[in-house]
Amino acid sequence: MSNAELRGFFQRYIDALNAREFDRMPEFIHDEVVMNGSPVKRDDVIADQKGHVDAVPDFAWRVEDVAIEGEKVAARLFNKGTPAKEWFGASPTGVTVEYAEFAFYKVREGRFYEMNYLIDAKAVQDQLAG
């Protein structure tokens, strides 16, 4: 994929997440991937994504920056939502949280085969604690 194609592919992935189109994930993610250093099935990735949305129904991923090198995508996102259930070990308080996520992906044959992300869970917990 060219840089422009890979950038479009990544944005379509984020758009599908925000539209809750989890049934589209096979378009973006191989059957088996490496997630934060551990081999997992695509269904595990989808379950994790659905878990965020279940706990935070208005959860939204917003792409702030994207860098592409070959088949690698690095992104800085801002995620925002108001938890309705326990999330990150904190009970819902009605507080909307927003935090940065740094994500790194590797693409082979037009889909992610490696997905890594880092979020500041402490920042989320601090916001929820008020």
Look up the CATH number of the domain holding residue 17.
3.10.450.50
Domain count, the chain: 1
Range list of H helices, the chain: 3-18, 42-55, 121-129
Question: 81-97, pLDDT tens digit by residue?
Answer: 999 998 888 888 899 99
Question: 15-40, pLDDT tens digit by residue?
Answer: 999 999 999 999 999 999 999 999 99
Find the domain containing 100 and state its range.
Answer: 3-129
pTM: 0.92
Residue 130 predicted with pLDDT over 80: no
Distances (CA, A) of 1 to 8, 16, 42, 88: 10, 20, 22, 36
Query: Residue 126's pLDDT band (boundaries 50, 70, 90)?
Result: confident
The rounded mean pLDDT for the chain is: 93
CB 75 within 8 A of CB 102: yes
